[in-house]
Structure 1
Amino acid sequence: MSRTPSAFAAEEERRVLSIRPVLAPVHRKYGSHPHQVYDLWPAEDPEAPLVMLLHGGYWRYDRMHLTPFAAHLAQQGFTTILPGFRRSGGAGGYPATFDDIALAVDTIPEGRPFVLAGHCSGGHLALWAGARALLPESSPWYTTRLPTAVLGLAPITDLAATIRDDLSDGAGLQLLGGADQVEARLPLVDPLTLLRGKGTTGVRTVVLNGAVDEEVPLGQFTDYLAVHTDAEHVLLPGTGHYTLIEPGSPASRSVVETLGRLSSGG
């Protein structure tokens, strides 16, 4: 789908994506593949709530653009994990990207309660990870050990619509391995499809998005919320796509407040 962003959206994208990356104080591996690594920003309080962030970029791009926001969350009192994973167009796509997310979510927190958050395509991966108990028990990704809560930040929720709308030049087809693979693979990795007929993942879920997001069609949010009957919606008026992950922005303050509520069970 060709997209001509407004001046507002173009400036927001340029401003946020040009923020200088922040080097994490801790860098570790969670698996043997070179992409199975993660950055860690510990909060000052060793008992601080734990947040895992999954980055966007339509499953293709690396995590560096999210490092300023990860560092910001640590300053706000959250011990923050930012994992890498195999990505489309390289070593990833189906099934490797999902193998890595499942491994990261299952192992890095070491049994501690945590909130799983993701932005854009990272939001898709977060919502999928929170829905793994809805998978067939024969799936290697099936588990009942799930995050405490999931926060989707302007998330991709519907891979069929992503493919239909040709978002980001075929990103959905690239993730699934081509048009001939969609029918078999999409039901296993699409949050909306997993929820149909179920109504809930059993995990507390919040979708937070800006009302003037021009990057992800708003139907991605509303259609998901219509199916996930106990999910919460936080809608930010006058807010676009990228400012959600801009440290110190009004939108980021809403993200921090929501993470605080989810971490405390409030």
Structure 2
Amino acid sequence: MTAPEVSPAQPAHRGEAARALANVESSSDVTVDRYLYPTTTGDRDDRQNWADVYLPPGEHEKNSVPLVVLIHGGGWESKLGADVFVSLSKRLAERGLAVYNLEYRRVGSGGGWPTTFKDVAAALDFVPHVQSALPEISLHNAIVVGHSAGGQLAMWSGTRHNLEPDEIGASPVFRPTYAISLAGTLDMRQAVLNGNPRARRVMGGLPSEVPSHYTSVSPIENIDPDMPIIAMTGTADTVVPPSMSSNYVKAVKKAGGRGALVTFPGVDHTRIVAPDAETFPQIIETISRAAHDAHED
């Protein structure tokens, strides 16, 4: 059963989104609205099936503001949510970008296989409806960025058009054409072999038990050489080893694609995205430059 589409999109729970924005110190006039996206699972959770849309200050012409989609991490589990990206969303909006910071159901709050992946696909496919309500947003060469588990979801989201019709997330209505991973879990089989129980839980079993799940959503098994990527990682990351990012970039280049690896000496898994970290300005600059450059292509 597929939930009905909502068009045109209407913002919801503005107070919640605005309160999250108010907690970030700044004097800019960035605006934020929360949108509830329809799911494809036959049910939904308004506490989780939403996306906050941040817009830069001022008036903007139609199709003039580049779009960045953010997908948070947290091991695909419910302990962390999209609020961890409030500061990043605001800073990017201050750089002239529209930001779509999405939430999804996770293990422990109704998610897991296949719901988590269906939610992320549904949230992305709702972007054109949001753009119809906010025509200043440009969908030309949109960028997706994800941290940790969100890095896996981000890379996968940019390659859904290559999936078989019966696979989760196939035949996307919208897809980003540039992806940036921040300490992303880019090889799900290897993550399980490394002893990551969270990867096994969200996949619904071991690679030997559900091999098709891994084939379908593991980024290193779904490389699209036409999608440029950047993988950023810290050398002190003991949660997702830096080799996962470097191996992914090597695989992208071997396939004939464009991939760049950025390493931060001495930075661990969570510090890489901390707003007060020394890495934060470079991450903002990298995303901002990539989004603006891609929009101009």
Q: TM-score, normalised by structure 2?
A: 0.73
Deviations 1:7-38 (A, max 9, x none): xxxxxxxxxxxxx9646831110115122111
- Matched residue, 1:173: 200
SS in 1 for 2:237: coil
Q: Map residues 86-165 of structure 1 onto 2, 5 A cutoff.
A: 86-109=105-128, 110=131, 112-113=139-140, 114-143=142-171, 145-165=174-194
- Matched residue, 1:57: 74
Q: Distance in 2 between matches of 1:240 and 1:72?
A: 22
Q: TM-score, normalised by structure 1?
A: 0.81
Q: Distance in 2 between matches of 1:156 and 1:40?
A: 25
Q: Distance in 2 between matches of 1:99 and 1:146?
A: 14
User: 1:53: Cα distance to partner?
Assistant: 0.5
Q: Distance in 1 between matches of 2:274 and 2:122?
A: 28
Give the letter for the 1:86 counterpart: R
Moved segments of 4+, more than 4 Å = 20-24
- Matched residue, 1:31: 38
Deviations 1:145-196 (A, max 9, x none): 53131111111101111111122xx10111011236431311011111223x
Pair 1:43 & 2:56 matched: yes
Length, aligned pairs only = 241
Paired-residue identity, %: 25
Q: CA RMSD, aligned part only?
A: 2.3
Q: Distance in 2 between matches of 1:87 and 1:163?
A: 18
- Matched residue, 2:28: none
Q: Distance in 1 between matches of 2:227 and 2:218?
A: 16
Q: Is the 8 A contact 1:212 1:239 kept in 2?
A: yes
Q: Which runs of 5+ in 2 are unaligned?
A: 1-18, 23-30, 132-137
Deviations 1:58-109 (A, max 9, x none): 0003222222222232233322221111112331111111111111112225
> More displaced, 65-74 or 81-90?
65-74
- Matched residue, 1:6: none
> More displaced, 53-62 or 111-120?
111-120
Pair 1:192 & 2:220 matched: yes
Q: Distance in 1 between matches of 2:146 and 2:183?
A: 8
Q: Which has the higher contact order (CA 8 A, sep 6+)?
A: 1
Q: Distance in 1 between matches of 2:276 and 2:143?
A: 20
Give the letter for the 1:231 counterpart: G
Q: Distance in 2 between matches of 1:176 and 1:234?
A: 28
- Matched residue, 1:5: none
SS in 1 for 2:222: helix
Give the letter for the 2:279 counterpart: A
Pair 1:221 & 2:245 matched: yes
Which of residues 246, 253, 268 is equivalent to 1:240? 268
Pair 1:256 & 2:275 matched: no
SS in 2 for 1:202: coil
